Chain A
Amino acid sequence: MGIAILFLVFAVLLAIGVPVAFALAAAALATLFYLDLPPVVLVQQLAAGTGSASLIAIPLFVFAGELMLRGGISERLIALAASLVGRLRGGLGQVSILSSLFFGGVSGSAIADVSAVGGTMIPQMVKRGYDRDFAVNVSITAALVALLVPPSHNLILYSAAAGGGLSIADLFAAGIVPALLMTVVLMLTGYLVARRRGYGVEPFPGMRALLLRLVSALPGLGLVALIFVGIRAGIFTAVESAAIAVVYALAVTGLLYRQLRGAEFIAAVTHAARTSGAILFVIAAAAAFGWLLAYLQVPAATVQALQSVADDKAAVLLLIVVSLLLLGTFMDLAPLILICTPIFLPVAKAYGIDPIHFGLVLVLAGGLGLVTPPVGSVLFIGAAIGKIGIGQALRTIWPFWLAGLAVLLVVAFFPQLSLWLPALLKS
């Protein structure tokens, strides 16, 4: 009954136009009342939802992206990228995907990735004539790569939730091949969609122009290098790198390019605050909603239902994937991992599924939920940066989402793909 109230109130409020965050909070509140639990839990969980360190990357990277956009860094970076890959249809989409792989190599989080890469790429793609929905969709699905390529704090979380028996080094190694596969499949999808939409190609501007663009983009490339080297060398964390990015972008745009004046600075910081407020609030509300899902033991009920219909390994794996996709629709990734690992992993093990392999499946399946409504933080961030409605983004996300799903199924049903590299590294 509690579960029915939670979902029903949410669905009805959403349908009559209550914003997602408020619908989540109101559904949680109604369910708390029904369960005779104090409403104070709602406020506690809203606060807890933003108490985690990795979320700080959102406002900071959104801010850095605004500065880069208004101060001329992005423009020069993209001009360089366009002259390099301009002959490829949808070339900037490919740049966005490759940047995600690159940034994912330093950040463990899809949220940080879409804030950082999407914050730069989406506005510039729009400026260069790409449709907003394409720019948003290619960037948000690309952010899933960050979940798989090491370091991945979600895999660390999985190891902890599994009780510590799983080597983090093995999990990291297992993520590499799926991450590359995801990159290639998304690039192919981006190319096909761009060709269907007839995005133009840009002529090669010539060596001289290319060099000029390279020189002019160097300070921008310096930012990328600074973040990559800084995190890899352990000088700062991924979260701190977001603050470093802001300071660096301020220095380059204000002092070197002299393109950022007081008015643009104010516009950048206020716009970033507005966007971040909306994004963070919906993530916080999702945490309160997720608390009730956990309290009502929804994942456990799901796995029970699943066990009653499946009998062999492949069927169990498929049903786990389906349940995770469903749960991922409503839950954010970190709580999903914490709550589902202790429930799903023993089932998977009982059917002979390797726990390292299962971790990749769990993170990827849960990760796909980050780009689907009604609770999808990566989708919300992308849509906010691209200034389009969720509905508009959703109408055309399916080729990318299906590409991600295909990768998930391949990763799920070909365990060698993830287990090959860890085994190789051990021997």
Chain B
Amino acid sequence: ARGAAQAGGARVLTATDVHVSDYPTVAAVRWIGETLQRETGGALGIRLYHSGQLGRESEAIDMARFGAIDITRVYSGALNNAFPLTRALCLPYAFDSVAHMRRAMDEGVGDAVLRGFEQRGLVGLAIYDSGARCFYNTRRPIVEPHDLHGLKIRVPVSDIFIRMLRDFGANPTPLSLGEVFSGMETHMIDGAENNIRSFHSSRHFEAAHYWSRSEHSYAPDVLLVSRRSFDALSPRERGLLVETARESVKVMRGLWDESESKALQAVREHGVEFNDVDLAAFRAAARPLLDEYRRDAAIDALYRRIRELA
């Protein structure tokens, strides 16, 4: 693209993210851009549009596929239906811990999922893990799935999450993220689920005082580049981009861990009550959903590989 791509003879790749400027994924992509620029003597760089300036994630995927933008960072949950392999990463209790998640991504599972993007005009660059998703609510500590009964919990519009919440006995309520805060304050909904960093940055802790460590999903983020843009690069640039993106995972993880502990401390200071859950009971409740998704041979193979690395 002329406007962005040819700034003074240099090629500039456009990248989008819905997160704010200092979010770990945004910082990681910025690091990629700086590295590319250094390595190519300024011939290749990245122009970053953070904070959702160029639209939501659902649109970003298609914009990249049609070549309107070059690189985008999206949440894997938004990719489940178009890219079936990403389902394996979102399934409840597929991963036991952040360490397990990272090990699996580094040892084959990540590459397998990334290759799956090629069927629809994209090239998978990296998988950024984004912590464990847990339940938070305005009512009570959630210890067993039973404690979710009758609670209206906001979920992202994702078939896996909707089904999972239903299986746990909650009333999954699709609501746009912007309405969640007011929704909890007026008790239209009782809670939501997310990672601790988003719990902090969305300020939802001002309304919800119970954080239950259910760790029900580790659904990560994915960094993608448009196939068209990728093919337009020289072989050397392609190799450099792939390699730099791979290295950026370490950068991202470092920033993530740092910001996660800051977020944890901030919400703790605000008086949010933390509790452990009966993980065995939650795992059992998630069983039927897992079994159903594992009927797909490709997903099952990935799932087995993930569990081998536990």
**Residues on A facing B (Cβ under 8 Å):** 2, 34-38, 40-41, 44-45, 48, 51-53, 108, 151, 153, 156-157, 159-164, 166-169, 231-237, 291, 294-296, 338-339, 341-342
Contacts and interface: CB of A to CB of B under 8 A. Distances in A.
Contacts of A342: 20-21, 50-51, 53
B55 A48 contact: yes
A37 B22 CA distance: 28
Contact of A232 (B51, B52, B186): B186
Contacts of A108: 182
Contacts of B5: 36
Contacts of A157: 178
A1 B43 CA distance: 22
B186 A234 contact: yes
Contacts of A160: 20, 178, 201-202
6 contacts: A41-B68, A163-B21, A234-B188, A235-B188, A294-B53, A295-B54
Interface string B6-26: 000000001000001111000
B51 A295 contact: no
A38 B68 contact: yes
Contact of B51 (A37, A161, A166): A161
Interface residues of B, number: 41
Contact of A163 (B2, B55, B201): B201
B4 interface: yes
A288 to B, nearest CB: 10
B181 interface: yes
Nearest to B201: A164
Interface of B: 1-5, 14, 20-23, 49-56, 59, 62-63, 66-68, 175-176, 178-179, 181-183, 185-189, 200-203, 206
Given A40-B66, A338-B53, A237 B179 contact: yes
List 4 tightest A-B contacts by C-beta distance, closest first.
Answer: A164-B201, A234-B186, A234-B188, A35-B3
B182 A151 contact: yes
Nearest to B187: A234
Nearest to B19: A163
Nearest to A170: B206
Given A35-B3, A164-B201, A294 B49 contact: yes
A38 B55 CA distance: 16
A168 B181 CA distance: 9
A144 B66 CA distance: 38
Contacts of A168: 181, 203, 206
Nearest to B179: A237
A53 B176 contact: yes
Among A37, A45, A296, which residue has the most Cβ atoms of chain B within 10 A? A37
A169 B59 CA distance: 31
Given A44-B62, A234-B183, A342-B20, 18 more contacts: A35-B3, A36-B1, A36-B3, A38-B67, A41-B63, A44-B59, A48-B56, A48-B59, A52-B176, A160-B20, A163-B21, A163-B201, A232-B186, A234-B189, A291-B54, A294-B53, A296-B3, A342-B51
A409 to B, nearest CB: 27
Contacts of A153: 178-179, 182
A325 B309 CA distance: 56
Given A40-B68, A339-B53, A295 B186 contact: no
B4 A295 contact: yes
A200 to B, nearest CB: 42
B54 A35 contact: no
A169 B52 contact: no
Contacts of B185: 151, 234
Contacts of B186: 231-234
Among B49, B50, B53, B62, which residue has the most Cβ atoms of chain A within 10 A? B53
B23 to A, nearest CB: 8
Contacts of A38: 66-68
A34 B1 CA distance: 9
A41 B63 CA distance: 7
A243 to B, nearest CB: 15
A35 B53 contact: no
Contacts of B200: 164
A164 B51 CA distance: 12
Contacts of B56: 48, 51
A37 B203 contact: no
Contacts of A161: 20, 51
